[in-house]
Structure 1
Amino acid sequence: MKRIGVLLLTAVFCLLTVGGCGSGSSENSNAPVTIVATDNGWDSQKLHNAIAELIVEHAYEGYEFEVSTASSTMNWQALTAGDIDLDIESWTDNVATYEEDKANGYIIDLGVLVPDSAQGLYVPRYVIEGDGERGIEPMAPDLKTVEDLKKYPHVFPDDEEPDKGRIYGSIPGWMADEILYKKYQYYGLDKYYNYVRLGSEATLFASLESAYNQGEPWVGYCYEPTWITGKLDLVLLEDAPYDPELYLEGKCSFPAQQLKIVSSSKFPERAPELVDFFKKYRTGSELISKGLAHLIETGASHRETAIWLLKEYDYLLDEWLPVENAEKMRAYLNSLQTN
């Protein structure tokens, strides 16, 4: 998948290109329109982007698809400025300025991509209940809530500072990490635990899977849909009921979110025929988790997994696309068998 920077390359492009960065202002009226989507770093979004790229470039004419790889905060700023077209799989409840940006007309909600999601602090189920088949005794039998973690730092020791426990935070640059760190402080967990940020989603999930395979305790950030939550038996720790006034301060549960497709206000003018597709583009936690599991189990790329998913769940093309475009997409997918 083609990639560009968020701000620097956009600025350079605007300076060097005659006519600036406006849509359709190229000297060559037949030049393809480049659609730019956010890539905030997590696998489910990468897979959703790969599916969208295939559709945009091969079910329609005259478009190219690129992604902007940056933190979710930087990408959101570029989206509201109109430098990025789409945020596919947008966790809008994590964005402090979402409602304001929408009210100001900077962004448009195009549709709901995943109607069911979750995020927060998770532990393996055997930490609470044990696992007789694996010979694991319960380690924290009364652990139910985030605040209960105060009683169990010894269960989750930090190897580098054994007198404290270790909580694995979210990914640096993710908005969820800002909220989770406030939660860590709000509940006074900073007195008992170190908050450890690993550099990427892959590293975070590798630490969880390694601990799980060895039957060791682990507590940290996770979200759904992901391949890891589909593969492992995990428990989301309870928190105070969601309150929109308290959520961004880390004082209650993460909301069960609808993951959306959000566009800049300029996108409908730049690609009017794609708007209908993105309004209908819908997957769901179960479907995308199956795709992510295929990616991990086979070692396929996100693009290869997207191709597999579109072939395996062919009916999606009829739900998302007009008949002519769906058949064009099928013809492209079938042509890959002979390449």
Structure 2
Amino acid sequence: MFFRTLRTLAVSAALCSLGAASAHAQESTDPIKLTLHDWTGQLITTEIMGEVLKKAGYNVEYVQADYLAQFAGLESGDLHVAMEMWETTGREAMDAATATGKVENFGPTGMQAKEEWWYPTYMKEKCPGLPNWEALKDEACAEAFSTAETAPKGRYLGGPVTWGGFDDERVEALDLPFEVIHAGTDAALFAELESAYQRQAPILLWIYAPHWAPAKYEGEWVEFPEYTAECYTDPAWGSNPDMQYDCGKPFGEIWKVGWSGVKDKWPGAYEAIKAFQLDNNDMGAMITAVDLDGKSVSDVVGEWMTANEAKWSEWVK
């Protein structure tokens, strides 16, 4: 996994033709702090936005931050912009932060999020009731997904604990004979998938899109009871009358969020961030270039910037 260290990027004079000097002369020269997390797509999204802001004449600083804990910094103004807040895992934290008035939702990124339990197609022979989630309640099915560390329970490989997602709560609420094991990093999650898939070994894990994995590997997402907001807030909802999270994860937008002071301190940057749009296809191709083809995030972002100048220049005009 590629991680950027904390640094301040110098103001670029290369695109004065965009009118950056005049358009932003009255705006703060303080660095705009964009948060970095621990998955490739978010690093790409953030660097694209940072490089576009740099082209427009802004100082930009990349800051490593926890996906959910970052909201404390966004509320205080110590952090300024988070380019990916997934509807699937971050909606509650985002809504709580925006309710304070100190954090603003800057709108959708254009990408659609899906995150759920996923298994290779070859596992259906050992658990034929899939993709229905109730198949996982069968002891034989759970044992088919077990490892030495979890047997006789099945093993579900979740994302890093910082991603949230309520997988531990879901296992308990739905009374699944599974143990949740959290991968340490995004890279470790997909390295284990690659190893298992090559060996046709049992694996049940967190897969998300946009990403290259659903295209590269043949498999399916588990179909849990459909998510509703009440599932996460009202224990009486769903099959377990005493517990929340007895449903699947939500699907939907990937949002941009940030400190509410951005619009006053850097109004031009604020408009550019709101205008930012990518789609799943573009993002999937860039993640593939980094994770599978071995390119650096900076090289991939640079190639995208060159090929899409007409698009991103509209964000900062």
Same fold by TM-score greater than 0.5: yes
- Is structure 2 residue 251 aligned with structure 1 residue 256? yes
42, 45, 48: which is aligned to 1:45? Answer: 42
**Separation (CA, whole Å) in 2 of partners of 1:196 and 1:69:** 24
Q: TM-score, normalised by structure 1?
A: 0.77
The answer to whether the 8 A contact 1:181-1:250 is kept is no
Determine the C-alpha separation between the residues in 2 that align with 1:209 and 1:266.
Answer: 43
How well do the aligned residues superpose, as a CA RMSD in angstroms?
2.2
Q: Distance in 2 between matches of 1:46 and 1:289?
A: 13
1:295 pairs with 2:284: no
Amino acid at match of 2:100: N
Q: Distance in 2 between matches of 1:226 and 1:313?
A: 21
Separation in 2 of the partners of 1:213 and 1:298? 18
Give the residue type in structure 1 aligned to 2:81: L
Per-residue CA deviation, residues 57-94 of structure 1 (Å, 9 max, x unaligned), is: 1x211x22222223222212211222111110112552
In structure 2, how many angstroms separate the alpha carbons of the residues matched to 1:205 and 1:154?
22
**What letter matches 2:145 in structure 1?**
F
Output the CA distance in 1 between the equivalents of 2:39 and 2:111: 18
Matched with 1:276 is 271
What count of residue pairs does the alignment treat as equivalent?
283
Counterpart CA distance in 1 for 2:316 and 2:200 is 46
- Percent identity of paired positions between Structure 1 and Structure 2: 21
SS of aligned partner of 1:116: strand
SS at match of 1:140: coil
Q: Which runs of 5+ in 2 are unaligned?
A: 8-25, 234-243
Whichever residue aligns with residue 117 of structure 1, its letter is: A
TM-score between the two structures when normalised by the length of structure 2 = 0.82
How far off is 1:316 after superposition? 2.6
Conserved 8 A contact 2:167-2:180? no
Distance 1:216 1:98, change over 3 A: same
Give CA deviations for 1:15-70 in whole Å, capped at 9, x if unaligned.
xxxxxxxxxxxxxx99832111222211111110111121111x211x22222223
Matches within 5 A, 1:26-175: 32-57=29-54, 59-61=55-57, 63-92=58-87, 94-128=90-124, 138-151=125-138, 152-175=141-164
Paired AA for residue 39 in structure 1: L
Mapped to 2, the partners of 1:120 and 1:277 lie a distance apart of: 32
- Cα deviation for residue 230 of structure 1 reads 3.3
Deviations 1:93-140 (A, max 9, x none): 524243343233121121210342101111112322xxxxxxxxx232
Structure 1, gaps ≥5 residues long: 5-28, 129-137, 323-339
Give 3-state SS (helix, strand or coil) of 2:271's partner: helix
State yes or no: 1:244 paired with 2:254: no
* Distance of aligned partners of 1:254 and 1:114 in 2 relative to their CA distance in 1, 3 Å threshold: farther
- How far did residue 315 of structure 1 move? 4.2
Distance 1:287 1:234 in 2: 22
Runs of 4+ deviating beyond 6 Å: none
